[in-house]
Amino acid sequence: MRRDMEKLTFIWFLLALSVLFVWILLPFWSAIFWACVMSLLFKPVQRRLTTAFGNRASIAAVCTVLIGFVAVVMPVIGIAFGFVREGAQLYESIEAEQISPQAILDRIGNAVPFLPEIFSRLGIDVGSIRDYLSASATGLSQILSQQALNWGRGTLNFTIGLGLMLYLSFFLLRDGDTIVVWLRRAVPLSNERRQLLFEKFAEVTRATVKGNLVVAMVQGALGGLIFWALGIPAPLMWSVIMAFLSLVPAVGASLVWIPVAIYLYATGDAAKASILVAYGALVIGLADNVLRPILVGRDTKLPDYIVLFSTVGGLSIMGINGFVIGPLIAALFLSFWSIFIREFNN
């Protein structure tokens, strides 16, 4: 009886301290999460460098962090600031009436005269749609402008978070194997189930992150490149938007380039519009079908509807981090339930 009481008391203290520890780390959870992602993605690079440097793990970890910083972090920072800057410039142009969303919509309506008639037959007020889309465009550009100010004020916090992420990434890369062994011993399961769960966790994490981020970045980059080549304003901003929308199954980046192609046709730039349509269908559209099976694999690919809901839900709850965390949680949820069904219901 006394022994059971001691064990129960110890477990309660363990749970309480664990909750307090997580509470202390909450302000830095974003930096911790991205450090874990970076260490998982660049672990193969670190292992090769460790062998090349004669098993000097610390030097290999430092070099791996530097490679990750130059190859991923710096481009992402540059793109993010460029995106907000172009959004702010767009808002300033709308405010100065250099760009009129309503005039653009009127030109599209005049170029496609049968649309107002179709809307009229369906009982849809064309004027209300025009006003709504115009107000939405103005509101979006205003949000981007305000976000630029917020980012400027939060530069110190961002710098601290980035430094903590890189610092933690070094230790996760150097001591990752030791940490994994410790975690495996801490999980109260049999060796076989522990091994299966940890392997599935690593597999799904790598596949989901690579499948989401890499495909999104490639589609966004391809879209931004053609926008820049065709002289379409704010190509970097549209590139980032297409990268986000690439997570929407079936349509994805086409939610951006198809309306732009329609506008180009409406304004008489048939050649540019045709190039954009061909490029969007053959290059941007096929990038997802070619890259995702390679990066994700057949076994861990999520159904399209789960990708959509988990991504939107993650973004609404966790902000930009939910872009990755939402689909990751969904993939782990399905994987763990599959293991449970296989292990306990047979």
Distances (CA, A) of 332 to 34, 163, 208, 255: 17, 29, 10, 29
Residue 194 lies in a domain: yes
Cβ atoms of residues 111 and 265 within 8 Å: yes
Q: Tell me, yes or no, whether 165 and 211 share the same domain.
A: no
pLDDT over 60 at 73, yes or no: yes
Mean pLDDT of 313-337: 79
Give how far Cα 255 sits from Cα of 81, 218, 229, Å. 23, 16, 19
Judgement on whether residues 48 and 171 belong to the same structural domain of the protein: yes
Domain range enclosing 145: 27-181
Q: Whole-prediction pTM value?
A: 0.69
| Per-residue confidence (pLDDT) for residue 331, from 0 to 100 | 78
Residues 302 and 193 in one domain: yes
In the chain, % of residues over pLDDT 90: 4
User: Residue 157: pLDDT band by 50, 70, 90 thresholds?
Assistant: confident
| pLDDT higher than threshold 70 for residue 106 | no
Whether the predicted pLDDT of 20 surpasses 80: yes
Give 88-96's long-range contacts (Cβ < 8 A, gap of 24+): 88/141, 88/144, 88/145, 88/148, 89/234, 90/141, 90/144, 90/233, 90/234, 90/237, 91/138, 91/141, 91/142, 91/144, 91/145, 92/145, 94/137, 94/138, 94/141
Q: What's the structural domain count of the chain?
A: 2
Of 161, 181, 201, which closes a domain?
Answer: 181
Distances, alpha carbon 117 to alpha carbons 101, 112, 128, in Å: 21, 10, 15
**CA gap 32, 53 in Å, rounded:** 27
Dihedral-angle region of residue 120 (phi above 0 means left; psi in -120 to 50 means alpha; beta otherwise): alpha
Q: Does 149 score more than 60 pLDDT? A: no
CA distance 243 to 216: 4
Is the pLDDT reported for residue 117 higher than 70? no
Q: At residue 133, does pLDDT exceed 80?
A: no
On whether the CB atoms of residues 266 and 107 are closer than 8 A, the answer is yes
7 lies in some domain: no
Q: What is the largest CA-CA distance in the chain?
A: 86
Q: What number is the average pLDDT over the span 322-339? A: 79
Contact 175, 36 (CB under 8 A): no
pLDDT of residue 167: 92
Mean pLDDT to the nearest integer, 188-206: 72
Same domain? 197 vs 177: no
Here the tokens at position 137 are: 């465009």
The rounded percent of the chain whose pLDDT value lies above 70 is: 73
Which is higher by pLDDT, 315 or 232? 232
Mean pLDDT of the chain: 76
Q: Is the domain of 225 the same as that of 119?
A: no
Report the range out of 100-104, 197-201, 207-211, 270-274 with the highest average pLDDT: 270-274
116 and 262 housed in the same domain: no
DSSP structure class, residue 213 = I
The answer on 196 and 142 residing in a single domain is no
Does the residue 38 lie in any domain? yes
Q: Are residues 169 and 227 in the same domain?
A: no
218 and 87 share one domain: no
Query: For 86-95, 203-212, 272-281, which range has the lowest pLDDT when averaged over its residues?
Result: 86-95
Domain check: are 314 and 261 in the same one?
A: yes
Domain boundary among 116, 147, 181: 181
In this prediction, residue 101 has a pLDDT band, given cuts at 50, 70 and 90, of: low
What's the rounded Cα separation, in Å, for the pair 82 and 1?
65
Contact 278, 294 (CB under 8 A): no
Point out the domain boundary residue: 136, 163, 181. Answer: 181
Number of H helices, E strands in the chain: 16, 0
Q: How many CA atoms lie within 13 Å of 204's alpha carbon, on the beta-carbon side? A: 21
Instruction: Give the residue with greater pLDDT, 172 vs 344.
Output: 172
Domain contains 10: no
pLDDT (mean) for 161-171: 90
- At residue 139, the pLDDT reads 61
Mean pLDDT of 228-233: 86
Mean pLDDT of 31-48: 86
Per-residue pLDDT, averaged over 233-241, amounts to 81
Which are the contacts of 173, defined by CB distance < 8 A and separation ≥ 6?
Answer: 39, 42, 43, 46, 60, 61, 64, 65
